[in-house]
Amino acid sequence: MATSQSEKKMKILCLHGFRTSGSFLQKQISKWDPSIFSQFDLDFPDGKYPAGGTSEIEGIFPPPYFEWFQFDNDFTEYTNLEECISYLCEYITTRGPFDGFLGFSQGATLSALLLGYQAQGKVLKEHPPFKLFVSVSGSKFRDPIICDVAYKDTIKVKSVHFIGAKDWLKEPSEDLATAFDSPLIIRHPQGHTVPRLDDAATQQLRAWATEIFSYHSRILNGENHESEKGENKVDDEEEAKPEEVPNKTQVQQDGIGIEVNREVEAVNA
């Protein structure tokens, strides 16, 4: 039986952290309630480049390991970044269209860059505008040339940002959230990890995802939203400030929620 428009799933491109893999990020996300993204197809590609050094998940999760690009200790100079962007734009064009991104650390930082670049007309001009972004321990690039383009204007994408109380990228993650329009912020007590979610955070994230999918389905079904402007105006007023949801559940360090070594991930700041 053919899938109706209202049942058509949205597609999310999921970008892993530094020197890990798509399958590792898939494992990390599996600790979340599966109902949250039941209406979405999640794609977990591997980074363009093999890991150029030791991975902090060796002995915890099997290789191979990958990285998206390389960088200096200050995270102001990058190697193979343009090649990585071209690779992902080609991937998105041939495997998409995609509706949004989910990323951890380097993957979240890269996802936000692509969102900002698309909004400024620098990349993916023929691809439909992205609608959503899930950031876990993401941050901004520090090169002023990149910042002046990617974060020039507020990024009009529905976003949720997971920020850890003990994450060495806590402040950069806070800063990244300010680049987005009315971001949902979910806090957790752990460090640089994909956290387990307590009931409150699970319900909040599920409601956020369901709202996006429901709106997408209405658009696909050709509904005439004459009241859309008025509704959005109310929503905008209600979401004038970032909404923060504390996640009180203690995150277990079980090898999947690994605390990535500063020496390996520090340049993701």
| pLDDT single digits (tens) 59-115 | 999 999 999 999 998 888 999 999 999 999 999 999 999 999 999 999 999 999 999
Q: What is the pLDDT of residue 244?
A: 56
What's the pLDDT tens digit per position in 16-55? 999 999 999 999 999 999 999 999 999 999 999 999 999 9
Residue 186 has pLDDT above 50, yes or no: yes
List of residues 6+ apart from 56 with CB closer than 8 A: 19, 258, 260, 261, 264, 265
Whole-model pTM?
Answer: 0.82
Query: Which residues is 13 bridged to in the sheet?
Result: 43, 101
Section 220-249 average pLDDT: 48
pLDDT reading at 174 higher than 70: yes
What confidence score (pLDDT) does residue 8 get?
84
Q: What is the mean pLDDT of the chain?
A: 85
The one-letter amino acid code at 166 reads: K
CA pair distance 97, 91, nearest whole angstrom: 10
Structure tokens of 89?
């734009």
Quote the pLDDT of residue 76: 87
Q: Give the strand order in the sheet containing 10-15.
A: 40-43, 10-15, 100-104, 132-136, 158-164, 184-188, 243-246
Question: What's the CA gap between 120 and 132, in Å, rounded?
Answer: 17
Mean pLDDT of 150-161: 97
H/E stretch holding 14:
strand 10-15
Up-side HSE of residue 182: CA atoms within 13 Å toward CB? Answer: 14
